[in-house]
Chain A
C-alpha cells in the first residue's frame, strides 16, 4: 500500500499524465466529456474565486492604499512598500520570524527523522509508543499555548524540574529577551515533531527492501546505505516535510499571539503577529496588507528554492 503511494508521489512530482483519451471516441465526444471535467471543478473554482481570490486581490489592492478601517481606502501607490523597508519594527519582525523558522524547522526535520528511524525497527510496545508520541499533534494551538503557559510559569513544572540543576531560584521563560524566543521554539518543536515523524515513517516504509539487500551484498555499511539509498528515495517525503514545516513557521502566529503577545519588548513579534496588530489594533490595514504581500512573496521564493534544491539533489544522485 505504502509503496504504491510512494509511486504516486513520484508521479506527482514528475508531472501528471495526460487525461485519458478514449481510443474509439470521436472528437466531439471527447470534447463533451471534458466539459464534465470543467463542470466538476466549477463549484470548487467558484468557491476559491469568491473566498480566496477576491479577498486576496482586495488585500493586494489595500497594500497600495492608506486604509484606517474607519474611512474608505485611499490610494497611495507604493508608499507602504517603501515605508516598511525603513520600519525598524518590521525589520525586527523579519529577524524574529527568520530565527523562528530556523529554530523550528531544522530541529524538527532532524529529530522527527531520527524518531522515525527509531520506530522502523520492531520492538515490544512499538505501536503503543507511536500512538502516544502522536498526542501533541491532536491538541489545538489554544490548548498547546495554555498548557505551556502553565508549565513555563515562574512557579511551574518546568522550573520545578530545571532550577535545582542550574542553581537558580527561578527562571522567567516567558519574560526574558533571550529565553522567550527559544521557549516558543521548543514548544513549537514539541507540538510538531510527531506529525513529521509519522510522515517520515510512511516514506521509509515505502522504500522497497530489495534496495537494502542489494546494498548489503555490495558491502555497504549502515550509514552508506542511509546516505545513498534511504535519503535519495525519501526525496518526495523530504520535500513535503521541508516545505510544509517552513511555510508553517513563516506564518507563525498562534503561540506568539496567545503566549507572549509578541513580548517581552518585541522579541517574539513575528511578521504574522505584526500583520494582526497593524490590521486590527493600529488601524493600519494598508500597511498590514503590504506586510502580508511581502510575506507571500518570501514564502513563494523560499518554497521554489526548496523544491529546486531537493530536486536538483535528485538528479545528482540518479
Chain B
C-alpha cells in the first residue's frame, strides 16, 4: 500500500486497479456504516414517536416526524440549565488547564532546578491512578474547602491535568534555546519570555489541548455525579441519569433527544477546529 504508484498502464493493471478500487470503497463504506449507523440511529430516534422505536421492520426514517420530543425531553428536567452548567464548567476548565499547563510545561522543559525529575515523574504517575480511589478523599477535601454545591467543586479539581502538563512540556522541548537566549540578551525577563515568546509559539498545541480538555470536561460523569447535590448545578451527563431510574423503563426518544443535544457542541467544536482537533490527537501521540 505504501509503494508509490508506477506509471505502467497495461490493460491488466487497469483492471486490477479498478478491482482494487471497488474493494477499497466496499471496505470504506462498510466501515462508514458501522461507525455512523449508531449515531444516525440516535439522531433519528430522537424525532420518532416512542411507539416506532422498536418497530419491525426497522423505521430507518421516522414515519411520524416528532420534533416535539426535544421540548418535551427538555421539560422533563431543567436540561437548559444543565447545558449552561456544562458550558460554564468546560470553559473555565479549558482556560485554567491551558494557562497552568503551558506554564508548568515550559518550566519543566527549559529550566533545571532541584527535584525537577522527581516532580515530573510524580505528575506522570498521576495519569495511572484509578479515579475511584481519589473519590472519597477528594470529596472530603472539596467539602472542607467549601466547594460542594458551587461551581468551584465542579471546576477546580479538574482545572489542570497531568496530560496537559506533559503535552506542553513535550512541545516546549522542541523550542529552540537560541530564541529564548536571544530574548534574554535583549533584557527580557523570564515571565516576559513566557508571556510574549513561549505562549504565542505554543498556540497550535494549546488549541489542541483546549479541544481535548473541552471534550473531557463536557463528557465527565463520575465526579459531577458525586460532588453536587443541587439540581441547579447538574451537568448534562449527570442530568441524563433522570432517564435511567430503575423504576421507569427508559423513554428512548427523550434519551436520544438529550443525547443528540449534548453531542452537538462537541460536533460543532470538532467541525470548526477540525484541523486542530486532529492535530491535538496527533500531538497526544507524544504522550506515551
Contact = CB atoms under 8 A, between A and B. Distances in A.
A134 B39 contact: no
Contacts of B187: none
B281 A198 contact: yes
Given A11-B173, A156-B54, A247-B128, A48 B122 contact: yes
A26 interface: no
A37 to B, nearest CB: 2
B104 A40 contact: yes
Contacts of B24: 118, 121, 123
Given A36-B191, A142-B219, A142-B221, A275 B130 contact: yes
Contact of B171 (A8, A47, A120): A8
Given A43-B104, A296-B129, A285 B285 contact: no
B210 to A, nearest CB: 15
Given A48-B160, A147-B41, A239 B288 contact: yes
Interface string A188-230: 0010001100110011000001001100100000100110011
Interface stretch (A49-57, A74-82, A176-184): A49-57
B271 to A, nearest CB: 8
B107 A40 contact: yes
Contacts of B190: 33, 36
Contact of B1 (A44, A222, A289): A222
Interface stretch (B64-72, B73-81, B255-263): B255-263
Interface in A24-48: 33-41, 43-45, 47-48
Interface residues of A, number: 116
Nearest to B184: A22
Interface in B116-165: 116, 119, 122-123, 125-138, 141, 156-157, 159-160, 162, 165
Nearest to B156: A51
B58 interface: yes
A257 to B, nearest CB: 8
Interface string A142-176: 11001111110101110011000000000000000
B134 A52 contact: yes
Given A59-B137, A147-B42, A194 B173 contact: no
Interface of B: 1-4, 21, 24-25, 27-28, 31-32, 34-39, 41-42, 45, 53-54, 56-58, 100-101, 103-104, 106-114, 116, 119, 122-123, 125-138, 141, 156-157, 159-160, 162, 165, 170-171, 173-174, 177, 180-181, 184, 190-191, 194, 215, 218-219, 221-222, 237, 240-241, 243-244, 250, 252, 255-256, 259, 262-263, 266-267, 270-271, 274, 278, 281-288
Given A146-B259, A151-B41, 13 more contacts: A20-B180, A52-B126, A52-B134, A56-B133, A132-B32, A135-B267, A142-B219, A142-B259, A143-B240, A150-B42, A222-B2, A279-B135, A288-B132
Interface of A: 2, 4-5, 7-9, 11-13, 16-20, 22, 33-41, 43-45, 47-48, 50-56, 58-59, 62, 69, 115, 117-118, 120-121, 123, 129, 131-136, 138-143, 146-151, 153, 155-157, 160-161, 190, 194-195, 198-199, 202-203, 209, 212-213, 216, 222, 225-226, 229-230, 236-237, 239-244, 247, 251, 253-254, 258, 272, 275-276, 279-280, 285, 288-289, 292-293, 295-296, 299-300, 303, 307
